[in-house]
Structures are given as C-alpha cells and as structure tokens.
Amino acid sequence: MQESSVTQMSSIGSGNLFNAGKIGIVMVGLPARGKTHLSVSLCRYLLWLGVKTHVFHLGDYRRQNLKKGEILPEDYFYVNPSEKMKEFRNSVLSCCKKDIIKFFDENGQIAIYDAANPRVSDRRFWASFFSEKGIQSLFIESLCDDPEIIEENVRCLRISSPDYISWKPEDAVEDYLKRINNKIPFYETIVENDLSYIKVINLCQKLIINNANIGYLPSRIIFYLMNIHVKPRAIYFASICDSLHDDINSRKSCVNREDHQYASAFVYTLLKDREETQSQANTGKNKNAKDLTIWTPILCKMCHITSLLENKGYVVDQRPLLRQVNLGVVEDMTMEEIEEKYPTEFRLYQENPYTHRFPRGELARSRPPTRVCHSGNRERK
C-alpha cells in the first residue's frame, strides 16, 4: 500500500478521540461482510486526503508465518482452537502488532487493523493496546444481512483470496462458508457503550455512531462510509483539448477546429470502449447501454462533445464543480505572461503543477466531486 508523504495533521487538541493526531481503526465483523473492502477503500481515501494511513490485514500475517508448503490446520479459524493453534495465532498477532507500533513510531497517523474481532474480549484487547500507547481507537463494524451482498463477497473472495489459489471454485466456496458458520454462533456485535464505534449496516444502508466527539478526521471517515458502495463501474477521465498544449488558462479559450476533431475522437473512443466492454460481459445492446452518467464543466469547449453525446441519446450533466480552479493573480494570463511577470511562481508551478497554488488562487475543489463520483449520487452539486 502506497503511503502519503504529506505532513501529519496537527495532534493538538483536548485529548478527546477526534482531536487526536493518531487513530487506530479496528475492523469488526463476520467473514464476507465487506471488512477488507471497507478498510482498503477507506485507506485509499485517507491517503488521498494526505493522511499517512496503512492497512494491516491479519490474513497476510497468517500466510507469512506459515512455512513453505505447510498447510494451515482447519481449527485455526475456530473460536476455540487447539493449544498449538493458539500459540500460532499469538505469533501471527505479535508480528502484526510490531508492525503497527513501528508504523506509528515512523509518524504514521491512522492504522487500520483488518480482522474479524468477533468477541468483546478482542475489542477490549485492542482498546487497551492503543490506549497504553496514547493512540485513540475507533471500531468499525460491518454488519450485513443482505444475501446478495454476502453472496457477491463470497464470490469475489473465491476469486481473489490468496488462500484459494488453484482451488476448485466449489471447494473454495464450501471452505469459506465453513469459516463463516464456525464464527456465527460465537459472534458478539458491538454493544460496549464506552467504545467509539461506527456500525456500517449493509454497506452504507444505515450507519450507527456511538461515543463520537466529531472532529475533522472522523467526520471525513463517517462521510466516506456514508457513500461507500461495492457495485462495479468504469470511470472515464478526459482533459479538454487545450490541456494537451500546456495552456494553463484553457477555460476561456475560443473553440477551434482542433477542438471539434478532439471531441469527435473522444466520443468515438468512449462509445467504442463501452460497446466492447458490454460485448465481453455478454449483455448485448439493450437499454443498459445508455446507462452512462456524463459530467462536463460549463465551458464553450465542451459544447461540441455535449452535442455529439446528446445526439447519441445520452444525458449530459453540466457541473460547475468541474470547472478549472481560479488561478488568482494569474487568472486570464498565458504561460508566457506568467513566466515574464511571475518567474518564481512559474518555476514552482513547473516543478509541481498538481500542488502549487498561485497567490490568491483557489486551493482545491476535488473533494466534493470525488465524493459524488464515488457514491454515484446524481444530484446536481
């Protein structure tokens, strides 16, 4: 998992959970309830925010601790395993804890521990573990009673899990369902009112939040979990034509012949790719072929693309949030003018165009459209 190098957010505060700079997130839930999906997606989002985050999957440590060619005894997944398996479990857990401690010692900010943690004693252990090190804890429980979601999760795990490489599909499903059934009678949902937790029910159908003194990071986490989904989708990103020529102020440029050529090529490429994808999925040409959400900024240069797509029967949603950020003092200037009048700013922009902010320029506007894009929310923002 790639980590961000952005400076850690301030840990100065009252000492309450959501003012602290370091948080240990502990996942809770039965197998096939989407814990790993939640933890990986949340980690990506937090890294994108600039928060140094890492996911620690207990299953990875289990596999690393097995000797080459060694077969894991079935009772490893039992709630009450043999003494030998208890020792092995403790060894696996010890390796994971060491890495978590090392991560925080190296200025990590949020560690996500991905495991079942099905009992009250498991959660108490982690709450004490983090508390002793001055790290606040947050538990995220994934509950699911939707058979379709569970079935899809089992199917995906059968395909992607390293545990089932070279297994027959039916054998992998049978084995994984056995793991689930072994834990169900002993599973204890979170009821510890002194813990800070978020219950995610059927992947964002409902959220229950307990003992949360909301601050910036947890509010971002909660907001993200409210918009999580597991439906597969393709997202296409395309720049407007002038960006191909390094024109920083493409917003107010005039439409030219090259723009029309670009628009035609873009629409052709997009629709051809969708047609091939649907053909591979054996869906054929049906009404779902038009199930495409298209967002564009409000720009003259987008008019031809909009027209071409609308003629094909697609609805194009013009979104003000997608317009170029305001460039402050260099707004409406060409690159040559910026280089001449603001040579230092020009150099800094050339070195890091993604993060550089011109004087009095807009800082960022990517979070709202990213959230809407992720959730699939089609309301105008």
Per-residue pLDDT at 7: 41
In this model, does residue 236 exceed pLDDT 90? no
Question: 65: buried, middle or exposed (CB in 10 Å: 19+, 13-18, 0-12)?
Answer: middle
Work out the percent of the chain whose per-residue pLDDT is above 90: 30
Per-residue pLDDT at 26: 98
Give the pLDDT band of residue 14 (cuts 50, 70, 90). Answer: very low
Residue closest to 216 by CA, chosen among 38, 20, 57: 20
List Cβ<8 Å contacts ≥24 apart for 239-246: 240/297, 240/299, 240/301, 240/302, 241/301, 242/301, 246/335
Residues 259-285, mean pLDDT to the nearest whole number: 77
Give the pLDDT band of residue 49 (cuts 50, 70, 90). Answer: confident
Q: What is the pLDDT of residues 101-140, one digit of tens each?
A: 999 999 999 999 999 999 999 999 999 999 999 999 999 9
CATH architecture, range 17-225:
3-Layer(aba) Sandwich (3.40)
Domain boundaries, the chain: 17-225
- In degrees rounded to 5, what are phi and psi of residue 373? -65, -40
Q: CA 268, CA 274: separation in Å to the nearest integer?
A: 10
Give the residue with greater pLDDT, 303 vs 370: 303
Residues 221-228, mean pLDDT to the nearest whole number: 87
Q: What is the pLDDT of residues 176-197, one digit of tens each?
A: 888 888 888 999 999 999 999 9
Active site residues: 114
Q: Do 374 and 227 meet the contact criterion of CB atoms below 8 Å apart?
A: yes
Q: What is the pLDDT of residues 360-369, one digit of tens each?
A: 887 665 666 6
Alpha-helical segments (H) within the chain:
35-49, 58-65, 83-105, 120-132, 147-160, 169-183, 216-225, 257-280, 303-311, 335-341, 343-351, 367-375
Give the pLDDT band of residue 17 (cuts 50, 70, 90). Answer: very low
Count the Cβ atoms, other than its own, within 10 Å of residue 38: 24
Neighbouring residues of 48: CB distance < 8 A, sequence distance ≥ 6: 4, 370
Residue closest to 27 by CA, chosen among 90, 86, 96: 96
Residues 212-229, mean pLDDT to the nearest whole number: 81
Residue closest to 33 by CA, chosen among 159, 201, 187: 201
The whole-model pTM stands at 0.73
